[in-house]
Amino acid sequence: MNKGAKKTLIKLVVAVPLMFAFGFALVPLYDVFCEVTGLNGKVFQSEHSDDLIAEQGRPLSLQFISTNNENMPWKFEPSVKVLKIETGKYYTATFSVKNTTDKKMTAQAVPSVAPSNAAAHLKKLECFCFEKQELMPGEEALLPVKLLVSNELPSNIKNVILSYTIFDITDYNDIELANNQIVME
């Protein structure tokens, strides 16, 4: 093989793992892109800042929706379905949740905001969705979310919907293993 061919070959062989890595790089890039633009209705944890507080807010209706993923048996619903709020002020909303089964289960709530261009202006200081929820059989809980809608929300938006889907993320393999061990002991 001549020298030129070797050079071309090396360049191309290097390009392949680079493009493979690029495929994986798309994952964090996508998250960053969504965070910056607020697309995809994704909401991330925000820090408190005095700039967010507004003396004169405008009225807004904040609607809560809860959904159970697949066969998730828990009872999961917002305490209030619609909250009349003002931009630039903190509010705390709660969701009631109950493990209706006789097993210890773990759940994860995944949020989404509609319309998607409101997502960047919805600031969550605390949210149950930032953590896993573990409930014993029959246990109930009230899950809080502390949020503020910034004054910079586009003025054509009069209604913001915050929805949560609750997923069952219990590791059933571990439970079976644990049960087996109990039986064996």
Partner 1 sequence: MSAVIENHHEDHDHGPAKGITRWLYTTNHKDIGTLYLWFSFAMFLIGGAMAMIIRAELFQPGMQIVEPEFYNQMITLHGLIMIFGGVMPAFVGLANWLVPMMIGAPDMALPRMNNLSFWILPFAFLILLSSLFMEGGAPNFGWTFYAPLSTTYAPPSVTFFIFSVHIMGASSIMGAINVVVTIMNMRAPGVGLMKMPLFVWSWLITAYLLIAVMPVLAGAVTMMLMDIHFGTSFFNAAGGGDPVLFQHIFWFFGHPEVYIMILPAFGIVSHIIETFSRKQLFGYSSMVWAMLSIAILSFVVWAHHMFTVGLPLAAEIFFMWATMLIAVPTGVKVFNWVATMFRGSLTFETPMLFAIAFVVLFTIGGLSGLMLAIVPADFQYHDTYFVVAHFHYVLVPGAIFSIMAAVYYWIPKWSGNMYDERLGKLHFWLSFVGVNVTFFPQHFIGLAGMPRRYPDYSLQFADWNMVSSVGAFLFGFSQLLFLFIVLKTVMGGKKATSQVWDGARGLEWTVASPAPYHTFSTPPKVD
Applying CB under 8 A, does 16 fall inside the site for partner 1? Answer: yes
Phi first, then psi, for residue 163 (nearest 5°) are -120, 145
* Strand (E) or helix (H) holding 95: strand 90-98
CA dist., res. 126 & res. 153, Å (int):
20
Cis peptide before 28 (omega within 30 of 0): no
Amino acid type, 43: V
In the complex with partner 1, the residue whose CB is nearer, 33 or 91, is 33
Sign of CA dihedral 33, 116, 111, 120: positive
Applying CB under 8 A, does 4 fall inside the site for partner 1? Answer: yes
Smallest gap from residue 183 Cβ to partner 1 (A): 26
For residues 118 and 153, the answer to whether their CB atoms sit within 8 Å is yes
Block residue for tokens 């697949």: 70
Q: What character string, x for contact with partner 1 (CB under 8 A) and - otherwise, covers 50-69?
A: -------------------x
In the complex with partner 1, the residue whose CB is nearer, 52 or 122, is 122
Question: Which residue, 96, 92, 80, is CA-closest to 145?
Answer: 92
In the complex with partner 1, the residue whose CB is nearer, 49 or 156, is 156
In the complex with partner 1, the residue whose CB is nearer, 82 or 110, is 110
Smallest gap from residue 98 Cβ to partner 1 (A): 19
In the complex with partner 1, the residue whose CB is nearer, 46 or 68, is 68
Q: What character string, x for contact with partner 1 (CB under 8 A) and - otherwise, covers 78-107?
A: ------------------------------
| Helix, strand or coil, per DSSP, at residue 102 | coil
**Would you tell me which residues interact with partner 1 (CB under 8 A)?**
1-2, 4-5, 8-9, 12-13, 15-24, 26-27, 30, 37, 39-40, 69, 108, 110, 116-117, 165, 167-169
